[in-house]
Amino acid sequence: MEFWISLFADLRDNGFFDGGFLDKSLLQFCCMGLIQDELDDTAQIWNAHTIRASKNISNPSGRPSVMYALPELYHTRDFLTSADTESVQLCKNECTFRRPISCDPDVNELCNVIISESQLNIPRDPYQAMNLYMHLRDVIRALL
């Protein structure tokens, strides 16, 4: 994440990000998918890494994903607790779920139109994302 923080700081420091609604939405549109992919990859790697043995017997060692799926191998039990349907629904009603789009719906629609008209692609790396951000920013600011 340090990479992304530095990248965004450079945008701000060079005058290409003012913290306003449009700039935030454009960064979300251009970068959120890439950031989410990195977070998902990190979670997979983390859950598959090996936790080293410790002198403290209350700290188990092993791979987190295996420890979760097969607790009996670690001389423990599954602590999963079932919940009734009403309780689950109540929790769902109180939650705010991630939207299928990463930014304001109007900005998302406008960006997709500009990408289509300009025959651009969705970015596959941070540098493509920055190029797209700058292009979209310039085009939309010219329209305002």
pLDDT tens-digit readout, 68-94: 999 998 888 888 899 999 999 999 999
Tell me how far apart the alpha carbons of residues 91 and 88 are, in angstroms, rounded to a whole number: 5
Q: What is the pLDDT of residue 58?
A: 79
Tell me how far apart the alpha carbons of residues 10 and 4 are, in angstroms, rounded to a whole number: 10
Instruction: Tell me: pLDDT of 54 over 90.
Output: no
- Residue 20 pLDDT level (bands cut at 50, 70, 90): very high
Tell me how far apart the alpha carbons of residues 40 and 129 are, in angstroms, rounded to a whole number: 18
pTM of the model: 0.77
Tell me how far apart the alpha carbons of residues 118 and 8 are, in angstroms, rounded to a whole number: 24
Q: Which amino acid is at 61?
A: S
Instruction: Tell me: pLDDT of 60 over 90.
Output: no
Q: What is the pLDDT of residue 110?
A: 97
Average pLDDT of the chain to the nearest whole number: 93
Instruction: Tell me: pLDDT of 56 over 90.
Output: no
Tell me how far apart the alpha carbons of residues 55 and 41 are, in angstroms, rounded to a whole number: 30
Q: Are 60 and 67 in contact (CB under 8 A)?
A: yes
- Residue 8 pLDDT level (bands cut at 50, 70, 90): very high
